[in-house]
């Protein structure tokens, strides 16, 4: 099997960094790591045994996403997998959300993924195949964390957008796959880095290590499964939640 070119956004820390390090342990992948912080990206790349290139970009801006795609195609001639992992949380209940709060969540959690899919899709269509992986959240399945209201809503939006892109594209290009991955609480700096601060995710009970989530995503690259949870029992939790409020999901 030829080496796959995998682009990972939000690769400077957390799940993105863990995924890069996981994939670098084999000879199956050539990685391109994307984020805004060059020093952090360089540190991750240094742990990837020479298998990762670094591209500094803000994926909230369409032109910068296009620049990343163009760079990868010039340097490596193709993209096999594009992982839309960049994202950020927010700590504010819905009654207090401002326009800026909602706009921030849409830019980083929805538009960044939309830009990735739209900019790379023509290349995938020209090849007749390709794989997008969008990192969502259990909070897009069970909206129970009130302070994460706008984050949860943005991930619901991402889920719907992913499903609709899948339905549109598979009519003409069935080998272009859209996968959705839904982690629960992950032991990263996600909480403390949220807009307006918030609880440190590393201190919450029952958190999942980023390396465990990375292993699941690596499995999705192989299986091309459309909808995957990162923890066993998550699907049953979702069904139980909706049953408890009298809704059949």
Nearest alpha-carbon partner for 181 in 248, 135, 125, 240: 135
Q: Locate 14 and state its tokens.
A: 């957390």
b/e string for 48-62 if b means 16 or more Cβ within 10 A?
A: beebbbbbbbebbee
Q: Locate 157 and state its tokens.
A: 């939006």
User: Which residues share a beta bridge with 32?
Assistant: 7, 53
Q: Locate 241 and state its tokens.
A: 């939640």
Nearest alpha-carbon partner for 29 in 38, 20, 40: 20
Q: What gap in Å lies between CA 221 and CA 8, rounded to an integer?
A: 12
Catalytic residue among 151, 157, 229, 242: 151
φ/ψ of 135, rounded to 5, equals -90, 115
Dihedral sign, CA of 74, 76, 80, 81? negative
Q: What gap in Å lies between CA 98 and CA 80, rounded to an integer?
A: 39
**151 is an active site residue:** yes
Catalytic residue numbers read 151
């Amino acid at each position: 099997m030829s080496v796959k070119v995998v682009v990972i956004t939000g690769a400077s820390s957390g799940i993105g960094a863990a995924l890069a390090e996981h994939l670098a342990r084999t000879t199956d992948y050539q990685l391109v790591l994307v984020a805004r912080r060059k020093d952090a990206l360089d540190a991750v790349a240094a742990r990837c045994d020479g298998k990762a290139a670094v591209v500094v970009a803000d994926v909230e801006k369409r032109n910068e996403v296009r620049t990343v795609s163009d760079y990868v195609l010039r340097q490596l001639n193709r993209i096999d997998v594009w992982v839309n992992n960049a994202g950020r949380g927010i700590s504010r209940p819905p009654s207090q959300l401002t326009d800026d709060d909602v706009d921030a969540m849409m830019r980083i959690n929805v538009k960044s993924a939309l830009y990735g899919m739209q900019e790379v899709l023509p290349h995938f269509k020209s090849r007749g195949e390709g794989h997008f992986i969008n990192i969502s959240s259990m909070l897009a399945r069970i909206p129970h964390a009130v302070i994460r209201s706008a984050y949860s809503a943005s991930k619901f939006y991402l889920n719907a957008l992913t499903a609709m892109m899948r339905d549109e594209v598979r009519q003409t290009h069935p080998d272009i796959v859209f996968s959705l991955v839904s982690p629960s609480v992950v032991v990263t700096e996600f909480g403390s880095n949220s807009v307006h601060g918030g609880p440190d995710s590393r201190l919450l009970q029952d958190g999942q290590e980023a390396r465990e989530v990375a292993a699941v995503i690596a499995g999705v690259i192989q299986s091309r499964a459309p909808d995957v949870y990162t923890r066993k029992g998550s699907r049953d939790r979702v069904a139980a939640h909706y049953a408890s409020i009298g809704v059949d999901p």
